[in-house]
Amino acid sequence: MPMNRRAFMATAAAAPMAAAAPSVSAMARDLAWIDATETAALIRRREISAAEAVGGAIDRAKALNPELNFMVTPDFERAKVRAQSPAGEPGPFAGAPIFIKDLQDLEGVPTRYGSRSGARAGPAARNSDRVTGILAAGFNPIGKSATPEFGFLPTTEPLATGPTRNPWDPERSCGGSSGGAAVAVASGVLPLSHATDGGGSIRIPAACCGLVGLKPTRGRIIGDETGVTDLSVSLCVSRTVRDTAAFLASVERAGADRLMEPVGLVSRPSTRKLKIGFLKVDPLGHAATAEVGDAVTETALLLESLGHDAHPLERWPLDASHFTEDFSNLWAEGGREVFATIERLAGPGMAERTLEPFTLALAAQRGRIAQADFEASVGRLIGSARQYLGIYKNYDVILTPVLDQPAVPLGYVAPDVPMETLVERLTTYVGYTPLNNIAGSPSLSLPLFMSQAGLPIGMMFSADVGQDRLLLELAYQLESARPWIARRPAVHA
């Protein structure tokens, strides 16, 4: 969930189906529900133009953003100009539209980090490394997507721009911190969108909005940092497994700077029989709701029907007694860095006046922690990660829910909820996701089930460090066995 801190330090400154929106053209509606792989293929075959693909996305964004609030900064006119280039952009997604999450610099567009502290930010002077990789894949950005302040929370309700609303139920959270991206994709504005994950920020909005969300192995993607306390990684949220697989192949480190063997393009399932352990409790022992727990059981049965061995596990193989405290302390370090940077760049008192209550509380928490205690927290987290990764000596994949329940109402984990209450809620709601960020291992959310109230339920599949291919191959199997592509949320293009 947190932003790329070094980038900020360097650049920061002071429901039933609804009818299609009538302002969206027939062409825009026709293009709304094909994936990015097919969009790029149509452009290559000259069955549509890049201008038509981008123009349709812009039409849909204009029609749906007033209700859903997924976009913070449009870049429509420049996107239209780029789409007119006769040669187009290189790369497998040449001409396909995309949003860039507003934690990354897109040259010529302000980066505001979902914060009131960025209200006066000027246009970015250059693209971040992550964005450079996305542009090299051929994508045409049409703007910046909404995020909670500095990506800290698993809901997108920043005080700076107001809540981003879940298209399945606009009174529900869309997740975070890649919430704007997920809403744009789920509602049919775009086939996929850029996202980052530092504690669940790809998988949580994917689960809330009914999408595919892969958190890749730490250090695999261009621009991602590689230290053991660098939690955030970059990829996308999408509607199809093949889009996520192709996006990964197009932005992973594959040259001299690679840290591991590249995955390459995964285009089909494998026939390998997997040993899969499944749990309905998070590492602290909190159980998911009955409805979500039943979805885990049904997923295990589905895996068995596909030829895999699925084994129930009663508990996680690690001592998690200090995990919440330790992870919170690491999170608080991000709050301290944000606070100090704003005070340095914008002047004394500006952090207190512009930052949200949760961010201020994080900074204050870090101020109360002695350095030796902070280092002890980091050491325990690294130990927890080692214990967790030991599970893959016996299992290929671990299955859990993404969240302990479907998307919560807006306001439940908002940044102005009192800190003690908020931490208590977060501990149970998002208890499954952070461990893979500490361990650096890949983890994938798939929208396999719907709740009785008509909300998506995401199932999470996690694997050992470097085993991104294994998860994508399994995802192809599950997508074919239990397809989700025909689902439409209440608010859609």
Query: Where residue 115 sits, what CATH number does that domain have?
Result: 3.90.1300.10
Give this prediction's pTM. 0.95
d(C-alpha 68, C-alpha 51), whole Å: 25
Tell me if 318 is assigned to some domain: no
Whether residue 465 sits in one domain with residue 330: no
Tell me if 471 is assigned to some domain: yes
CB 113 within 8 A of CB 3: yes
Beta strands 397-401 and 309-312: pairing type?
A: unpaired
Tell me if 45 is assigned to some domain: yes
Q: Is 201 a catalytic residue?
A: yes
Whether residue 120 sits in one domain with residue 250: yes
Other Cβ atoms less than 10 A from the Cβ of 46: the count is 7
Whether residue 421 sits in one domain with residue 361: no
Whether residue 257 sits in one domain with residue 210: yes
Q: Is 101 a catalytic residue?
A: yes
d(C-alpha 267, C-alpha 222), whole Å: 21
Q: Which long-range contacts (CB under 8 A, 24 or more apart) does 258-261 make?
A: 259/219, 259/220, 259/226, 260/217, 260/219, 260/220, 260/466, 261/466
Give the residue among 250, 266, 275 at the shortest CA–CA distance from 473: 266
Whether residue 412 sits in one domain with residue 373: no
Task: Name residue 141's beta-bridge partners.
Answer: 98
Tell me if 289 is assigned to some domain: no
Structurally, the chain folds into a number of domains equal to 2
Give the residue among 184, 21, 163 at the shortest CA–CA distance from 98: 184
CA dihedral 368, 370, 375, 378 (to 10 degrees): -20
Confidence at residue 228, expressed as pLDDT on a 0 to 100 scale: 83
Confidence at residue 63, expressed as pLDDT on a 0 to 100 scale: 98
Residues in the chain: 493
Give the residue among 213, 202, 165 at the shortest CA–CA distance from 15: 165
One of 101, 144, 215, 280 is an active-site residue; which one? Answer: 101
d(C-alpha 491, C-alpha 210), whole Å: 13
Confidence at residue 360, expressed as pLDDT on a 0 to 100 scale: 98
One of 145, 187, 193, 201 is an active-site residue; which one? Answer: 201
Confidence at residue 29, expressed as pLDDT on a 0 to 100 scale: 77
> Residue 143 is part of which domain span?
5-271+408-436+444-449+461-481
Other Cβ atoms less than 10 A from the Cβ of 74: the count is 17
Longest dimension (CA), the chain: 62
Write out the two tokens for 159: 């005080």
Tell me if 311 is assigned to some domain: no
Prior bond to 270 cis, omega within 30?
Answer: no
Q: What is the DSSP letter of 286?
A: P
Prior bond to 305 cis, omega within 30?
Answer: no
- Look up residue 159 and give its amino acid: L
221 three-class SS: strand
Tell me if 353 is assigned to some domain: yes
Q: Is 280 a catalytic residue?
A: no
DSSP assignments along 15-46, one per residue: -PPPPPPTTS-HHHHHHTTS-HHHHHHHHHTT
One of 117, 145, 177, 193 is an active-site residue; which one? Answer: 177
Tell me if 386 is assigned to some domain: no
d(C-alpha 406, C-alpha 166), whole Å: 12
Mean pLDDT (10-residue bins), the chain, 493 residues: 39 35 68 96 94 97 98 98 75 96 98 97 98 96 98 98 98 98 98 98 99 98 92 98 98 95 97 97 97 98 98 94 95 97 96 98 97 97 96 98 98 97 97 97 98 98 98 98 98 97
CA 208 to chain centre: 11
CB 83 within 8 A of CB 50: yes
